[in-house]
Amino acid sequence: MDYLLPETMHEARQLGWKSLDIIVITGDAHVDHHSFGAALIGRFLVANGFKVGIISQPDINNQADFQALGEPNLFFGVTAGNVDSIVNHYTAQRKIRSDDKYTPEGKASKRPDRATIIYTQKIKQIFKGVPVIIGGVEASLRRIAHYDFLQDKVRKSILYDSKADLLIYGMAEKTILETAELMQQGTDISSITDLKGTVTIAKNPAGIMLPDTEQASTPVAFIEMTRLFEKHHRYNTLYQKFGNRYLRHNPPATPLSTSEIDFIYNLPFTKQPHPKYKGKAIPAFLQIKDSITTHRGCFGGCSFCSIFYHQGNKIQSRSRKSIIAEVKKTVLMPGFKGTITDVGGPSADMYGISCPHDKCTRTSCLSPNICHQLDCSHEKYLNLLKEISRIPQVRHLFVSSGIRTDMAVMNEKFIEELVKKHTSGRIKIAPEHISKKVLELMNKQDFSNYETFNRMFRKYCQKYAKNYQVIPYLIVGHPGTTLQESIELAIYLKNNRLMVEQVQEFTATPMTISTAMYYTGINPFTGEKVHVAKGREVRLQKALAQWYVPSNKKYVIEALRKADKKDLISFFYP
């Protein structure tokens, strides 16, 4: 029988539960889908014998919202939601966003800034002595001292600021289950200090020391912290001093096996929002409701990307059987119109690809060159797409999540199949920039991969008479990008008649290498100085990437004059 995790005691009693073992507080709407972290963790714990409820987007000024499910027998779990609350609320220029895709009707302001901290403080005020465990993307990426772009300063670990009892980072299933089982057996949460995937408070250090929180606010110490963390965090326990206490950072949890990840994704998700929303659209849900997640993790190692620090760099793939079973369930869902909108993960074509090394120290399997031990075959992914396409109700199957051009160009058959069957009209590819210098700082391969992919894609468009477009996804303002590189990019776009609608301004998200460069102006791996564009210069870089927009003309001319390239004004505006 289909059921939702309860949001009220009335709903809990309908399941025969007199009390709950664990209550999850989330800054997202309650959608019973495995793409929503609170539902996934809740379902997983229920499947392992625990009674779990969810409180979604509680009003921080209404104590009753936090009391809706009473006091849990074991602990509260707190997450800001699928997105860091500061990134969710503010643009790269610190302007308040007008929407929130994880809220009914996309309304903003349903979760507070620094939601993990605020929710935890509220619980601590109302439920004295009840343990609180924090997790999710916000907690994961703020687990050690980190740069906060909104305040433009280094903040200490979110574990200190929230005063939570334990921080679980990453995708968390294994670790939170082990924690729950220990607490059910009577173990005090303060004694749980050495589980993989956790950050705790320790009295005495017994491992590698990071620069303390106060020191880390200086650029030199911040770079040293970044270097040490990158070198050791996957395999060693790290410590960081704050006041008279120490943060203990344990290595990440062991990646899930295929059978373990199958178990999770085969749980009885209804794949529907909670009925309390009365049919109101939740944009993030609409975007993924007819898509299929095939795997977790990414071994691309892009400097600006936080996936490595949350999902890890090991690809954890579901079995074909598990994926096909979900597709067969999806096609029977209300409102399904014959189209599977995506089959993939962080990078779609990494499905089924693994590396034999358990303790490799490379930050990327693909950059500066593809590791010779990596099997980049797309055979498993292509076979999966073929099998899904044979399901009678599936009229269209598209690949919408990221594709790595450096791998794709090694498998021309894959590009051909994309054109023949799996492109909806436009395909977005992320070269990010064309400058060799900038791409090296991004830890991405040369731009020639994008051009090679583009040629192959066009070749098959002609062969199959498809009028498709390859749309480059670009980042402006990334550390190392000057007006000179931005002009170089603009010239390429104009020469190739590319009018790019979406250009992302670099956002300094916590923990990434690019953010370390942004804060310090230093490349952590070479010690060399890096130019950091801020304020108006970022505006000029974005205008250059979108030179064709009439309102950008004055900015483009300003940028060309500042770069002593006045001769190019007539090139852009004859």
Q: Which domains does the chain have, with CATH numbers?
A: 9-193 (3.40.50.280), 468-574 (3.30.750)
Model pLDDT, residue 356:
74
- 156 has a pLDDT exceeding 80: yes
Distance CA 350, CA 231 (A): 24
Least confidently predicted of 42-46, 179-183, 356-360? 356-360
pTM: 0.95
DSSP 106: G
Summarised one tens digit per residue, pLDDT across range 512-544 is 999 999 999 999 999 999 999 999 999 999 999
In sequence order, the 6+-apart residues with CB closer than 8 A to the CB of 61 are: none
- 403 has a pLDDT exceeding 60: yes
Q: How confident is the model at residue 102 (pLDDT cuts 50, 70, 90)?
A: very high
Contact 298, 311 (CB under 8 A): yes
Residue 404, amino acid? R
Average pLDDT in the chain: 95
Could you give the C-alpha distances from 499 to 469, 470, 492, 548, 556, in angstroms and in order? 11, 11, 11, 7, 15
Residue with tokens 């997450």: 79
Distance CA 161, CA 116 (A): 9
Model pLDDT, residue 401:
86
Secondary structure (H, E, C), 547-569: CCCHHHHHHHHHHHHHCCCHHHH
Measured N-to-C along each axis, helices 536-545 and 553-562 cross at an angle, to the nearest 10 degrees, of: 110
Contact 75, 133 (CB under 8 A): yes
Q: How many other CB atoms sit within 10 Å of the CB of residue 63?
A: 12
Element (H, E) at 233: none
Contact 44, 173 (CB under 8 A): yes
Count of alpha carbons within 13 angstroms of residue 320, beta-carbon side: 12
Model pLDDT, residue 483:
97
Cis, bond preceding 255 (omega within 30 deg of 0): no
Residue with tokens 């993989």: 196
Tell me the DSSP string of 150-210.
Answer: TTTEEE--HHHHHT-SEEE-SS-HHHHHHHHHHHHTT--GGG----TTEEEEESS--SEEE
User: Average of pLDDT values for 184-201?
Assistant: 97
Summarised one tens digit per residue, pLDDT across range 293-344 is 999 999 999 999 999 999 999 999 999 999 999 999 999 998 899 999 999 9
Summarised one tens digit per residue, pLDDT across range 10-25 is 999 999 999 999 999 9
Distance CA 560, CA 547 (A): 11
- 1 has a pLDDT exceeding 70: no
Could you give the C-alpha distances from 429 to 402, 419, 444, 471, 473, in angstroms and in order? 7, 14, 13, 6, 6
User: Average of pLDDT values for 363-369?
Assistant: 87
Tell whether the torsion through CA atoms of 273, 276, 281 and 284 is positive or negative: negative
Model pLDDT, residue 178:
98
Contact 433, 475 (CB under 8 A): yes
DSSP 217: G
User: Average of pLDDT values for 253-258?
Assistant: 95
Secondary structure (H, E, C), 374-385: CCCCCHHHHHHH
Model pLDDT, residue 494:
96
- 73 has a pLDDT exceeding 90: yes
- 357 has a pLDDT exceeding 80: no
Model pLDDT, residue 358:
73
Contact 42, 174 (CB under 8 A): no
Contact 407, 370 (CB under 8 A): yes
Summarised one tens digit per residue, pLDDT across range 497-515 is 999 988 999 999 999 999 9
- φ/ψ bin of 198: left (φ > 0), alpha (ψ from -120 to 50), beta (otherwise): beta
Model pLDDT, residue 58:
98
Distance CA 355, CA 403 (A): 19
Distance CA 202, CA 205 (A): 7
Contact 445, 367 (CB under 8 A): yes
Model pLDDT, residue 374:
86
In sequence order, the 6+-apart residues with CB closer than 8 A to the CB of 440 are: 368
Residue with tokens 């395999």: 235
In sequence order, the 6+-apart residues with CB closer than 8 A to the CB of 19 are: 12, 51, 70, 72, 73
Model pLDDT, residue 411:
93
Radius of gyration from C-alpha coordinates of the chain: 24
Q: Could you give the 3-state DSSP secondary structure of residue 218?
A: coil
User: Average of pLDDT values for 32-41?
Assistant: 97
